[in-house]
Each structure stands twice: as C-alpha cells, then as structure tokens.
Amino acid sequence: MKHVRLIHAGREQWGVVTADEQAIALADGTAVGWSDITLLPPVTPGATIFALGLNYADHSVELGFKPPSQPLVFLKGHNGFVAHNGVSPKPRDADQMHPECELVAVIGRTAKRVSAADALDHVAGYTIACDYAVREFLENYYRPNLRVKNRDALTPLGPWVVDAADVGDPQALALTTTVNGATIQSGSTRDMVFPVAELIAWLSSFMTLSPGDMILTGTPHGVHFVSEDDAVICEVERVGRLAHRIGLKP
C-alpha cells in the first residue's frame, strides 16, 4: 500500500492511495480525489530525520573523497521538507545547488541494538527524497553544515510511503534523476557503501530509533547545478516518482 499525509477539510491526516492511484481512502472510509486534498511531505511530526553523506562509492569518488569507513550521518529539520509537486526555492546565495535522489527508509518498530540480520524487520516502508546540496558552503571535508543541507523547502519528500513488503529488497532498486527531461543521475541502491540494514544496526547500537523516524540513505554520482524554473523528477524503482520545480527565493 501507498500511504500519504494530507490535509482534507482543514484537518491533517493520513490516507491510503487506491490501487488505481486515482483517489485516496481516508481513515473513516471516505474516498477523496487528489484535487480535494493538499498533499504534505509524508513525515511524522516529531520524527528524527537522519541523512547520509558519501554513502555511494561512485559519488565519493566524483567529489574527490574516499568512501567513509563508517557512516557519515547528519540530521535534518522538518522545515526543510516540501511535498510532491511542490516548489523548492533556489536561495540567492546558491549558485552550486544540485539534486540528490535518495531512497528513504521509514522506521516502523522501535529499534534498539538490533542486528543487521533483523534490522529490516523494523522498517515500515520507503519513500523518496531529493536532498539538495548547496555545495559552495561545504567545509574542507564532507561536513554538511546547516547552509548546505538544511535550507527551508530544499528537500522534496514523497509522494507517499510504500509498505516495505511491496518494495522487497531495498538494495536492488534503480534510482534516476531528470532535470527538464534530461537524465543527470542514474544508479542503483546495490552500490550503497552501507546498506539500509547496516545503517539501522549502526544507529540503533547507540540510540533508539522510533516509529516514524526516517533515514535518507545517500545518493549516487551525478552533480548537476539547477536553475530557476527547472523541472526535477527523482524516481526510485518500486517506490515511485517525486516531482517538483525550482523557484527563486525572494
């Protein structure tokens, strides 16, 4: 199933997309059309959002770094997210802003000191992020400070969360990004340095992961700087298609 977070009749709630993807079934059984709702990023309020740097070897090489020996993790604030078909405003100080297509694992069960072998049992589902980097603000090593990775509305997320059982092996998914129809990223989750299960095991070894927490698992190679009015689409096999447009920040 595909789960969406939305506003309907002035109330924020979750719904399930119908099999034909033409409507959304609300918790009370009401079916509503896409035009009847405002789609929200499918993130649970209060959830902790983890993101990975350099988690694809080809992207590390592209940026001139060696793949890390342990996960490089940073946190993201909720103000950074924007929904499917939304607008990501390009900051005026961002000449080197590029999209990064990422598989996102959504935790479904409390995870504390779980093994990699059991880790995927704690995943509720998967969604897609386009985690923009404003690259001119990177420090001398891969340290994504706030101005690089935590700008308002520079992380499109969605359009939904797909049940883990419907996705299957998270390490066997193709990822692509297009800008104005041209492919600028093409990769596979099999090339992650640290697979989803290892990331959950590592994080849960020193902190508790809670239902709703998200892990943005990194991006493959393909650096392409975007401009105002660009149309960007990130796709992850068996998860979906996340579309948005680049605006200009006032």
What are the residue boundaries of the structural domains of the chain, listed by start? 1-40, 41-248
Is residue 141 pLDDT above 90, yes or no? Answer: no
Q: What's the pLDDT at 175?
A: 97
pTM for the whole structure: 0.94
Residues in the chain, total:
250
Are 1-40 and 41-248 in the same CATH fold? no
Residue 155: partners with Cβ closer than 8 Å, 6 or more residues away: 76, 80, 81, 82, 88, 129, 130, 131, 132
The 10s digit of each residue's pLDDT in 150-165 is 788 999 999 999 999 9
Residue 93 — φ and ψ, nearest 5°?
-100, 15
Architecture in CATH for domain 41-248: Alpha-Beta Complex (3.90)
Is residue 140 pLDDT above 70, yes or no? Answer: no
Residue with tokens 């709703």: 212
101/69 Cα distance (integer angstroms) = 22
Residue with tokens 């996340």: 242
Under 8 Å between Cβ of 49 and 216: yes
- Mean pLDDT of the residues in the chain: 93
Q: What's the pLDDT at 18?
A: 96
Is residue 237 pLDDT above 80, yes or no? Answer: yes
169/88 Cα distance (integer angstroms) = 31
Q: Over range 210-229, report the average pLDDT.
A: 95
Partner residues linked to 12 by β-bridges = 7
Architecture in CATH for domain 1-40: Roll (2.30)
Name the band, by pLDDT with cuts 50, 70 and 90, for residue 143: low
| Amino acid at position 214, single letter | M
